[in-house]
């Protein structure tokens, strides 16, 4: 093997990458500001990948990998950082994806989160959701909110994660962190136990099935403040996803319960800045006021955008409106705003040109820049 796992991780961290991808018959690649970048390393072999996995995976997960074909865990590389790891089998053999995690949870000020995030941490009970596509920073936003509660509230915070990403040490509050696999078999079973563990705040890494969602709603209804995530692109779609995960005969009851327990939905995306040097977080925010609760109860979630447009004083905002303002300030390119927007019509003037137009006016892609001898543009 021409390069070690630690060298690859160091290269990713030095170039501010977010993910390292290693697979059989392919050179290692890192994701930098959303783009995949090849490293100047020969294609990896199955033996290379086997060695990497043995260097980072716990022995108990190595034992079950041949049967499960996919495992998740956290790995701490001394002097480099902590990484969330997924190892899986694919057509060519073993692949490993490692995501950079921060050893210390961020603060709200670090992330420049809107004031409603701090308010959401002050509720005595209810459901707070942070949603968005994979890689949109959901876990980081939630970590900052949990960190804020830990620093300001003398309560018991219980987290159920897959795996534990940010390590929270007990501050003003007591923090109990549990991981899927080592500490509990399923999120649903962990939620059943959680209600007997005297928590004030419960973080569920992801609401993956109707049973877990139902238990989360029950916990929010019975006096707990519950945080969780879903993979949805807008606040309104988040509510539809929850309701539609249940059979039709149960949806009326779920709408009523959701109308009563839901507090805030924050749906976010990371959009490249106009200078290409960073990604900016833009958020769709719904705060469940009386008007919103009535629409949820009556099954009129398609009207929630109207509530959000008129609810700025309560902390609500439409992602597309904030994105359009960023384009006007020059923070984001119109083309990128069109790609990441929910309502394409608002950004129609920046929509991609037709094939004929594109051929008539070719534009060369900007080169990816990154330091280090191993890094080169993918492709």
Count of structural domains within the chain = 2
**Measured distance CA(343)–CA(340) in Å, rounded:** 9
CATH code, 292: 3.40.50.300
91 and 164 within one domain: no
Distance CA(293)–CA(117), nearest Å, equals 19
Q: What pLDDT does residue 162 have?
A: 85
For the chain, the average pLDDT equals 91
Mean of the pLDDT values across residues 291-316?
95
CB atoms within 10 A of CB 322: 15
pLDDT digits (tens, 9 = 90+) for 79-109: 999 899 999 999 999 999 999 987 789 999 9
Residue 131 shares a structural domain with residue 226:
yes
Are residues 296 and 175 part of one domain?
Answer: yes
**Contact in structure between 332 and 273 (CB atoms under 8 Å):** yes
Q: Are both 269 and 195 inside the same structural domain?
A: yes
What's the pLDDT at 376?
60
- The CATH number of the domain where 48 resides is what? 3.30.450.90
The string of pLDDT tens digits covering residues 111-133 is 999 999 999 999 999 999 999 99
Is position 350 within any domain? no
- What value does the mean pLDDT take over residues 202-209? 92
The larger pLDDT score, comparing residue 28 to residue 355, is at 28
- Residue 57, pLDDT above cutoff 90: yes
**Before 179, cis peptide (omega within 30)?**
no
This prediction has a pTM of 0.83
Residues 267 and 205 in one domain: yes
pLDDT at 355 over 70: no
**342 lies in some domain:** no
Q: Is residue 365 situated within a structural domain?
A: no
Q: What is the pLDDT of residue 146?
A: 97
Give residue 286's domain range: 108-329
CA distance 81 to 103: 7
What average pLDDT does this structure show over 359-366? 37
* Same domain? 144 vs 196: yes
Question: Would residue 259 count as lying in a domain?
Answer: yes
Q: Is the pLDDT of residue 297 over 60?
A: yes
Does residue 216 sit in the same domain as residue 118? yes
Would you say residue 148 lies in a domain? Answer: yes
Residues 91 and 171 in one domain: no
Interaxial angle between packed helices 210-221 and 187-194, expressed in degrees from 0 to 180 and rounded to the nearest 10: 20
User: With 70 as the cut, is the pLDDT of residue 360 above it?
Assistant: no
């Amino acid at each position: 093997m021409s390069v070690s796992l630690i060298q690859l991780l160091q290269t990713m961290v030095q170039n501010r990458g977010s993910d390292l991808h290693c697979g059989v018959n392919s050179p290692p690649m890192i994701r930098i500001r959303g783009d995949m970048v090849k490293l100047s390393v020969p294609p990896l072999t199955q033996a290379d990948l086997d060695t990497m996995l043995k260097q980072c995976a716990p022995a108990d997960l190595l034992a079950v990998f041949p049967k499960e074909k996919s495992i998740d865990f956290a790995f701490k590389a001394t002097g480099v950082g902590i990484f969330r790891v997924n190892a899986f089998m694919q057509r060519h053999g073993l692949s490993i994806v490692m995501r950079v995690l921060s050893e210390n949870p961020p603060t709200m000020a670090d992330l420049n989160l809107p004031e409603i995030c701090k308010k959401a941490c002050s509720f005595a009970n209810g459901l707070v959701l942070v949603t968005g596509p994979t890689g949109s920073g959901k876990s980081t936003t939630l970590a900052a909110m949990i960190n804020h509660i830990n620093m300001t509230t003398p309560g018991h915070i219980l987290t159920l994660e897959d795996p534990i990403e940010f390590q929270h040490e007990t501050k003003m509050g007591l923090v109990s962190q549990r991981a899927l696999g080592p500490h509990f078999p399923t999120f649903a079973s962990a939620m059943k136990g959680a209600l007997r563990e005297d928590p004030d705040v419960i973080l569920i890494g992801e609401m993956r099935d109707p049973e877990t969602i139902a238990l989360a709603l029950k916990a929010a209804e019975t006096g707990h403040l519950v945080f969780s995530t879903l993979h949805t692109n807008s606040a309104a779609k988040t509510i539809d996803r929850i309701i539609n995960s249940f059979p039709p005969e149960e949806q009326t009851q779920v709408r009523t319960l959701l109308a009563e327990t839901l507090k805030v939905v924050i749906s976010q995306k990371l959009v490249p800045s106009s200078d290409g040097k960073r990604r900016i977080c833009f958020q769709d925010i719904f705060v469940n006021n009386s008007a919103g609760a009535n629409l949820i109860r009556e099954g009129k979630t398609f009207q929630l955008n109207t509530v959000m447009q008129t609810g700025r004083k309560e902390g609500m905002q439409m992602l597309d409106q904030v994105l359009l303002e960023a384009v006007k300030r020059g923070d984001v390119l119109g083309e990128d705003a069109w790609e990441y927007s929910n309502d394409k019509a608002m950004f129609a003037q920046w929509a991609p040109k037709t094939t004929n137009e594109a051929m008539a006016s070719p534009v060369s892609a900007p080169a990816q820049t990154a330091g280090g001898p191993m890094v080169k543009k993918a492709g």
